[in-house]
Amino acid sequence: MQELNHLKAEHYSLKTENTKTTEKLTHELQNNVNGEYIKNVLMSYFMTNDITVQNNLIRVVFQAMKFTEEEQNKVIEAHTSNNQGVFSRALGGLF
């Protein structure tokens, strides 16, 4: 009977350890996948001059990185301001 109790306790311990390890590995895998996804999104962002594409990619980053509404507004405001400056400088040189 004592041996059975010992085996049950050992089984429970191994099961708990296995669950924790599985959760840790799942979390690490998810982070790795998200990291690769964000890397690809950022590469696309940096390699395009299309403002519409950039705006869409920024929203993808917001979702993937769980930006708060306040953080999103700050980024959108800065992005809009920066792009208006680029356009006005470019157009100013044409006229």
Nearest-5° angle of CA 81, CA 42, CA 84? 15
Q: Name the pLDDT band for 73 (thresholds 50, 70, 90).
A: very high
Would you give the DSSP letter of residue 49?
Answer: -
Q: How many CB atoms lie within 10 A of CB 83?
A: 13
CA–CA gap between residue 36 and residue 33 (Å, rounded): 5
Better-predicted residue by pLDDT, 14 or 87: 14
pLDDT, tens only, 24-71: 877 887 777 788 888 899 999 999 988 888 889 999 989 888 899 999
- Which residue in the block uniquely carries the two structure tokens 């990185």? 65
Q: Is the pTM of this model over 0.85?
A: no
